[in-house]
Structure 1
Amino acid sequence: MNKADRRRADTLHERAGELDDDAQALAMYRQALEIDPRRADTHYNMGLIYKYQGRWQESFDHNRQAVALDPNDEASNWNLAIAATALRDWRTAREVWNRLGLAIRKGEAPIEDDFGITPVRLDPDDRGEVVWARRIDPVRARIENVPLPESGFRRGDVVLHDGAAVGHRVSGGKSYPVFNVLALFEAGPYATWLAEVSADGVADVKALCDALDAAGAAAEDWTTNVRTLCKQCSEGTPHDVHDRRLVAEPDGRYRLGIAPADVAAAKKALHAWDAGRGRVLGFDCVVPVPAKAHGAGA
């Protein structure tokens, strides 16, 4: 290839990176590759766009090309592993994680391990709700909180998340990186129920949550435990001043998110706590379990 062609490919690549429209950028990247098909950075950028579009086969193909041209590029390897995971190509995913130095054996079985807890951002482009989850591989995590109903996610859902941290959360004095969710990988078995109750204070609500937990129904006080953060705080490390200012004070009515393994057992725990005083104001399913609760594709 002569210098003039290389300059043309460089110019197309740089102009594509300045575009906000993905379709136009992809078209320009393709022009660059027609001139110089061995541009690892162009393949990487195309794979990145396809990743955020959820077009996993295209992302896989371009990241695989990028890795073939530049085997030591960490970002291309990570995105190849993410795309392979989305496609359930466990052999490739395991090979890439192994190449990146992670203690994952090669093979063809799905990865199901314990990589510790992590906060994940459910909808990075909208509400940006962050919940806690347990990582079962480097880019998949099972949600342990009860997400708000508007998120559409449920406790027990397995999500595919990005590899780059965007912000941090602190728990038990330890800082944890926040990862943006890319897709629902597998739907969990729990519906989300909303209980509205009248309580005598946070301690009273905690007693109810403890009773529900004992009945196998994970419960969370959405009234006092949900924190609303500005975008800057959400994508960084939250500071106490914003937390105190943005958390609403309860007025005696509380909203509890509940993910019951047994709805009847959850109702029994609610009635036992209420003890006939009429303090349970409502108990309704707000996010049902999908008909295809297991094996849902990303």
Structure 2
Amino acid sequence: MTVFQHSSDDDLVKRAYQAWDAEEWQQAGKLMETALRRAPDRPGSEKLWFDAALAYKFLRDWPKAYELGREAAARASRGQQDPAFWNLGIAATVLRDWSTARDCWIGYGIPLPSGEGEILVDLGITCVRIDTATGQEVVWARRLCPTRARVFTVPFDPSRRFGEVVLHDGAPNGERIVEGQRYAVFDEIMLFTPSDLATLSVTVTAATTDDVEALIEVFSRHDLGAEVLTSGELLCKCCSEGSLPQERSIKAGEQVVLLAAPEHRAVELLDEWRSGRPDGRQWTGLHPAT
């Protein structure tokens, strides 16, 4: 705990961390800020600035997290992976202050190409645990910056969509293993950019698993989505947040496939898929998923 010279400041800090321990973030942040405004640069104040900003991050009060986060970052060492830069980078991203966000990622120690405006780079594939109308779901996504990723699989819950950009936290909370390669699972903070591609449902009949793979490939080739409904797996919280080997479960025969595409385009691509082997591929019942 940070120690201040004046007893009144000590009492504020003590009460702030009592509120912190009780997860009363509003009270904790307010008390910390009051103490800091009295003595902004006393020994140990850099931790208090960080914790105050973090309390407002927990509250999703982004303007306040940004304001206090700037003070925390100003007292942090650049290039040393100081989390003050990361938290300010998140707040700046939410507020679309791209110049501050870019400076934060560089200050944290992440090399980014120079530029202005929205940060759009390819930082590889990851997983994100998103909030849905029925609970939570882990989806695959491509990172656009250290804290945003675009979903490229079709969520099983139609309240969420293929193509969404989500804001995620910086600390991994689980991992998925595919063919020996490990991918971090990050928790969603918020939906950053919605997608206009509603999820459709269709019943397909495929003679072989290769026919199912071909259907997925047809939609993927056009930057759209297809996901076999039975490939979803229900997990408890402990398993979801653990290290989990994963592979797509594909079978032949009649099954439901979820699609992310405008309806007219879905019809065109389904017909294209069927025409490739009409004796082994059929589809019917295209409709909005519910």
Shorter-chain TM-score tier: 0.7 to 0.9
Match of 1:47 in 2: 53
Mapped partners of 2:54, 2:229: distance in 1: 35
Uncovered stretches (5+) of structure 1, i.e. residues with no partner: 288-298
1:238 positional shift? 2.1
CA contact (8 A) 1:90 1:107 kept: no
Query: How do 1:141-290 residues align onto structure 2 when only pairs under 5 Å count?
Result: 141-150=149-158, 152-197=159-204, 202=209, 205-213=212-220, 217-223=224-230, 225-238=231-244, 254-260=255-261, 262-269=265-272, 272=275, 280=283, 282-286=285-289
1:153 positional shift? 2.3
87-96 vs 115-124, which moves further? 115-124
Give RMSD over aligned pairs. 3.4
Mapped partners of 1:77, 1:210: distance in 2: 40
Uncovered stretches (5+) of structure 2, i.e. residues with no partner: none
Percent identity of the aligned residues? 32
209-218 vs 174-183, which moves further? 209-218
| Alignment deviations for residues 229-285 of structure 1 (CA, whole Å, 9 cap, x no partner) | 221121121268xx9xxx9x9996522111125233145347658969996453212
| Alignment deviations for residues 144-183 of structure 1 (CA, whole Å, 9 cap, x no partner) | 1011234x32111111111111111112311111111112
Distance 1:274 1:96, change over 3 A: same
82-91 vs 102-111, which moves further? 102-111
Distance 1:88 1:143, change over 3 A: same
Mapped partners of 1:179, 1:134: distance in 2: 12
Distance 1:78 1:200, change over 3 A: same
Distance 1:185 1:217, change over 3 A: closer
Q: So what's the TM-score if we normalise by structure 1?
A: 0.78
SS of 2:153's partner is coil
Equivalent of 1:135 in 143, 163, 169: 143
Mapped partners of 1:270, 1:6: distance in 2: 70
The amino acid of 1:231's aligned partner reads K
Query: How do 1:30-41 residues align onto structure 2 when only pairs under 5 Å count?
Result: 30=33, 32-33=35-36, 36-38=39-41, 39-41=45-47
Residue 97 of structure 1 pairs with residue 100 of structure 2: no
CA contact (8 A) 2:125 2:140 kept: yes
Mapped partners of 2:29, 2:201: distance in 1: 44
1:205 positional shift? 3.8
Q: So what's the TM-score if we normalise by structure 2?
A: 0.80
CA contact (8 A) 1:161 1:182 kept: yes
Mapped partners of 1:179, 1:125: distance in 2: 19
Distance 1:66 1:176, change over 3 A: same
1:65 positional shift? 1.6
1:41 positional shift? 3.0
193-202 vs 57-66, which moves further? 193-202
Mapped partners of 1:174, 1:250: distance in 2: 24
Distance 1:78 1:227, change over 3 A: same
Equivalent of 1:9 in 4, 12, 37: 12
Distance 1:5 1:124, change over 3 A: farther
